[in-house]
Amino acid sequence: MSRVYLDNNATTPVLPEVFEAMRPYFSEHFGNASSIHHHGQETRAAVDRARESVAKLLACRAPEIVFTSGGTEADNLAVFGTVSAGDHVITSVIEHHAVLNACQRLESIGCEVTRIPVDGRGVVDPADVQRALRSNTKLITIMMANNETGVLQPIEEIGKIAVEADVCFHTDAVQAAGKVRIDVGKLRCDLLTVSGHKMHAPQGVGVLFVKKGTPLNPMLYGGSHERSRRAGTENVPGIVALGQAAELARAALESGAVGQTAAMRDCLQSGVLERIESVGVNGEGSPRVPNTTNFYFDGIEGEALVIALDLQGLAVSTGAACSSGAIEPSHVLKAMGIPVQRARASVRFSLGKQNRPEEIDFALELIPQTVARLRKLSPLWGKALASS
Amino acid sequence: MSGGVDSSTVAAMLRAEGHNVVGLTMQLWNQRRLSGHPGMPEAVQGRCCSLDDVYDARRVAERIGIPYYVVNQEERFERDVVRPFVDEYLSGRTPIPCGLCNNHLKFDQLLVVARQIGADLLATGHYARLEFDGDTGRWLLKRPADHAKDQTYFLFGLTQEQLAHTIFPLGGMTKPEVRGLAHQYNLAIAEKPDSQEICFVPGGDYKRFLDAYLAEIGESLPDTSGELVTTDGDVIGEHAGIHNFTVGQRKGLGVATGNPLYVIQIKGDARQVVVGNSDQLYSNTLRVHRTNLISIADLSEPMKVCVKIRHRHEPAPAIIEAGSPGETLVTFEQPQRAITPGQAAVFYREDVVVGGGWIL
């Protein structure tokens, strides 16, 4: 079966150039980057080159880049590295579970957390952040782009508020890096998270940008890696890959190639809206990253649609998966005020650099007939038709 | 696929026969919800749909080469199985959640999902047989070859539409044969013990479950304490709550007389538990409501059948006749012991399940 992958917000394939860049670092140039001999010097240089590449992508300086095992670790480091008992934290209700659960943990160790709501379009109001500030607010953490809807948050405005209040500001940019330009100076953030596998590098590597002068307690104790901010022998192949992926992303952003992704996403979006009735976009009208669109298909369960599409070769997703692999209801859609039934009827489509227009055509062939089949067998759809 | 031997073997059999098979597990109950409440275990393993069971099912699917998905049906399960389970006990009845799960989840919501994703049939590991009766044009549910494993008692509520899209490949096999097949297919779970209890009540302690569940949803256990009375109406003691009792129960009554005492009846409204001696446990009649008929379209005249009033019960000869709409009157040839409201009464004609309903 030929398969089309439209779930790039879950993870992306490693691009050929990225794989080529990292390949020598498994068995040829394998030294521990901290070793003083030739083998270590080689890999140290490779890590530092990657560091420069990521710094360029974020418009920051190389020493401000801390490599981690991924986005989750970077989010945790941002939260636990800055906050202690008695502090107050401001976050939002739509954050990724890495931030939400870290903040929940903070509450159990004597911190207070304010969770800013979003409006129907899924956007945080900076004024709400302003209002939530207290004398003991230590950290504001608001994501740059939401993983489920792709909606972009007003990070620059929030950054301004953070600067004025002299409060540390972190943004989880996992879903934004490589898709939209990031300039940490303009954003005025002190901390920013990047995840390798969301931008065509492999799983197992990420970045926390730490603005110079930002105090940060490490979570991992051991060697003095990453200027004593994150102990642990560097994942050289992963870091090299991330560096290469960052170069490719920067080039694509500068050349406007991301526009192609947006065009395909828009084609998919309008195609679905035209061909299927009782469908809508969650987060309609909000600024979004160019690769994501989240639809609701009234009268069916998103979970069943995802399975039905997968069995025909199209990969997409809904909400978040729990440890059994079953799908959990989306806290993001709920926070946007979307009614439970409609939230359950929602499915996310997210594109990557490797997707082609033919794949969008394939999807547009498949989705309407699959939705129709589901609706025919759905008691909910039957009820909706009967009452209309 | 529950991760158990039966459903795993079914999957392997069908795959080996060349069918296009997809494995589905229902995520029904979040095992973490009540952990930590007094009396509830911290980590729950080996219950249907626990993480370990899902892991087992997933590994079987991978071993036999079929796609596998876990489907989240927690909300519906809580609404249609767990909540009624709690309400039944609090009303003085003894519920059968497995029957409700089959009616509302397994052969309803799951069957819908199965058909939506393109399947023609839902196969399960139930020990039961299905046959199409060309004369009546009806699907017949029949007892399996292995009577000891007969699960038709829990399947009485299935409709023709549901049965038309179901298969029970294990109907003609015994448990040892099934395990043998599992070994043949090299399934890691071939020796896994059967799960005997209610999947969402770890350890079988339903009273602790009631406490923990009600506390978790922010309700308190209603006070249904009241009087222990004899069948003549004499008050001989007190009880702490009607949900602590089930018909036929001997222990935990808190009163001692010369003869052993048993729970004869639970009067929910009056909060009374009626106790008596062993003879008083026997009765010839019962009424069921929400009757579902399978082998016949309706009960237009009295019919001679054998009736099971509990899962572990030898079907007893009786006459059934229609009462008010949905109700069936059952009159046994011999008095039956401890007829329990909330349980199911299932009617058999030899091996064929005529139908059944819930005991009033």
Please give the DSSP secondary-structure letter assigned to residue A145. B
Sign of the torsion formed by the C-alpha atoms of B86, B91, B96 and B102:
negative
Q: Looking at the complex, does the CB of residue B297 fall below 8 Å from at least one CB of chain A? A: no
Same domain, residue pair A267 and A244? no
The terminus-to-terminus CA distance of chain B in angstroms comes to 33
Angle between helices B5-16 and B175-184 (to 10 degrees): 60
> What are the residue numbers of the active site of B?
101, 199
A271 and A226, same domain (yes or no): no
Contact A153, A161 (CB under 8 A): no
CATH number at residue A61: 3.40.640.10
Tell me the average confidence (pLDDT) per consecutive run of 10 residues in chain A, 388 residues long. Answer: 96 98 98 97 98 98 98 98 98 97 97 97 98 98 97 98 98 98 98 98 98 97 95 98 98 94 98 98 95 97 96 91 74 95 95 97 98 95 79
| Cβ atoms A82, A320 nearer than 8 A | no
* Identity of the residue in A312, A324, A373 whose CB atom sits nearest the CB atom of B116: A373
Q: What is the pTM of this model?
A: 0.93
Domain termination site, one of A214, A238, A253: A253
Residues A143 and A162 in one domain: yes
The 10s digit of each residue's pLDDT in B303-351 is 999 999 999 999 999 999 999 999 999 999 999 999 999 999 999 999 9
Closest CA to A95 of A157, A139, A130, A160: A139
Same domain, A152 and A293: no
C-alpha to C-alpha distance for B252 and B244, rounded to whole angstroms: 8
Same domain, A360 and A213: no
Model confidence pLDDT, tens digit, residues B86-131: 999 999 999 999 999 999 999 999 999 999 999 999 999 999 999 9
Q: Are residues A87 and A26 in the same domain?
A: yes
Both A234 and A268 in one domain: the answer is no
> Which residues in chain B have Cβ-Cβ distances shorter than 8 Å to A304?
71, 112-113, 116-117
The structure tokens listed for A375 are 């609706």
Picking from B72, B104, B110, B161 by the largest number of A CB atoms within 10 A of its own CB, the best residue to mutate is B72
User: Interface pTM (ipTM) of the complex?
Assistant: 0.90
User: For chain B, what percent of residues have pLDDT higher than 70?
Assistant: 98
User: Are A229 and A260 members of one domain?
Assistant: no
CB contact under 8 A, A326 and B22: no
- Same domain (yes/no): A242, A381: no
Whether residue A304 and residue B70 make contact (CB cut-off 8 A), yes or no, is: no
Could you say which of A253, A270, A303 is where a domain stops?
A253
Residue A194 and residue A78 share a domain: yes
Residues of A with Cβ-Cβ distance to B76 under 8 angstroms: none
Q: What is the CATH number of the domain that holds A303?
A: 3.90.1150.10
Count up the domains in chain A and report the number: 2
The domain boundary, picked from A191, A221, A253, lies at: A253
Q: Are strands A206-210 and A65-68 parallel, antiparallel or unpaired?
A: antiparallel
Domain identity same for A8 and A55? no
Give B49-98 pLDDT, tens digit per residue.
Answer: 577 889 999 999 999 999 999 999 999 999 999 999 999 999 999 999 99
Structural domain of A289: 4-12+256-387
Digit-coded pLDDT (tens) for A284-338: 899 999 999 999 999 999 999 999 999 999 999 997 666 667 777 899 999 999 9
Q: Which domains does chain B have, with CATH numbers?
A: 5-125+169-207 (3.40.50.620), 226-276 (2.30.30), 282-359 (2.40.30.10)
Instruction: Note whether B116 contacts A303, CB cutoff 8 Å.
Output: no
In terms of domains, do A249 and A116 share one? yes
Query: In B, which residues are within 8 Å of A327 by CB distance?
Result: 72
